[in-house]
Amino acid sequence: MSTPRIIPSLIGDLSAEEIEAGRLLFAKECDFFWGAEAATTLPEAVLPEICFAGRSNVGKSSLINALTGRKTLARTSQTPGRTQQLNFFNLGQRLVLVDMPGYGYAKVSKERSEAWTAFIRQYLKGRVTLKRALVLIDSRHGLKPHDIDMMKMMNQAAVPYQIVLTKADALTNAAIPKAQAAVAQALTKHGAAHPEVMVTSSEAGLGIAELRATLTRLADPAG
């Protein structure tokens, strides 16, 4: 396992108290409670929600597991594109984590891809409790066309979203801020994007505490 590296730019304006609050929240019970395959089957919107979007094999399930300190909460699959529904997890009765289907996998049929896109567009535009979407990007590869398409969809839905780079343990210390800067520059063209690009590694634990603290801010009714 790689050794976690502390990059000052990961911490931003987070305080020690906020880091601890994030640790405490994500140490609470987190349970799967709903799976939705269409807009008509979405659960009642009650608690603040954070959704996780990203290409197949970007490390989405691994990140959710790392945040919650569990190994199998969100199931990882060796078959890209296998998840075909929105999976909802209740975190301590304060926050709902939503695992979205991975996108960009070539073997998904055109019909299935179009149906998925329509469903996700409905979810993004109509979910009043959705506080923020996290768009996960493989730090080794940067933004790809399918990522840009997802960002455009979120722009059109007026959903605030934040880019989270994954698998940063594969990069050198010098390469991490360069990857951040490249994505941040691209975000200037996207009005709904949060300007701060976060960096994580589920394998090494890099950036996990900071991301927990950031999401805990959104669990506050005033967040």
Predicted pLDDT of residue 9: 42
Confidence of residue 84 (pLDDT cuts 50, 70, 90): confident
> 143 pLDDT exceeds 80?
yes
Segment (H or E) for 33: strand 30-36
Predicted pLDDT of residue 153: 93
pLDDT in tens, 52-79: 999 988 999 999 999 999 887 876 544 4
- Alpha-carbon distance of 49 to 91, in angstroms, equals 10
Residue with tokens 């996290």: 134
Burial class of residue 97, CB neighbours in 10 A (0-12, 13-18, 19+) = buried
Predicted pLDDT of residue 107: 62
> 43 pLDDT exceeds 60?
yes
Predicted pLDDT of residue 191: 85
Rounded to 5°, angle at Cα 146 from 184 and 214:
45
State the DSSP code for 191. Answer: T
Report the chain's mean pLDDT, rounded to a whole number. Answer: 87
> 14 pLDDT exceeds 90?
no
**Which of 2-11, 104-113, 193-202 is the most confident on average?**
193-202
Predicted pLDDT of residue 79: 47
What CATH number was assigned to the domain covering residues 10-219?
Answer: 3.40.50.300
